[in-house]
Amino acid sequence: MTTTPTLPGIEQSVTADQHVARVWQTVVWNDPVNLMSYVVHVFRRYFGYPRDRAEHLMLAVHHDGHAVVAEGAREQMELHAQAMHDYGLWATVREAPE
């Protein structure tokens, strides 16, 4: 643990992991509405994934109930989740497991 001065005479404890940027994920969930071909279309159009990658992710959504479609900064993952909602897909954002 290191300490860094914040004001004269006052010190703040900072742990090492507070300096590390956290990785977040956009997760798309299976739903009873959208066709598999439409999900592939969305992944290709929005993320620019090639057909084989988009199909692989769609099959994970279909068979496993969800798939991680992107990882990165929280703000970007929130934008991705909102875009998935705009396409009519169910999506959430979560912190990536360490």
Share of the chain above pLDDT 70, in %: 80
CATH number at residue 53: 3.30.1390.10
Is residue 36 included in any domain, yes or no? yes
pLDDT digits (tens, 9 = 90+) for 60-73: 999 999 999 999 99
Q: How many domains does the chain fold into?
A: 1
Which of 27, 35, 81, 79 shows the shortest CA–CA distance to 55?
35
In a domain, 7, yes or no: no
Q: Is 82 within the bounds of a domain?
A: yes
Tell me the pLDDT tens digit for each residue of 73-87: 999 999 999 999 999
Is 9 within the bounds of a domain?
Answer: no
Q: Are 33 and 88 in contact (CB under 8 A)?
A: yes
pTM of the model: 0.79
Structural domain including 77 reads: 21-95
In-domain check, residue 29: yes
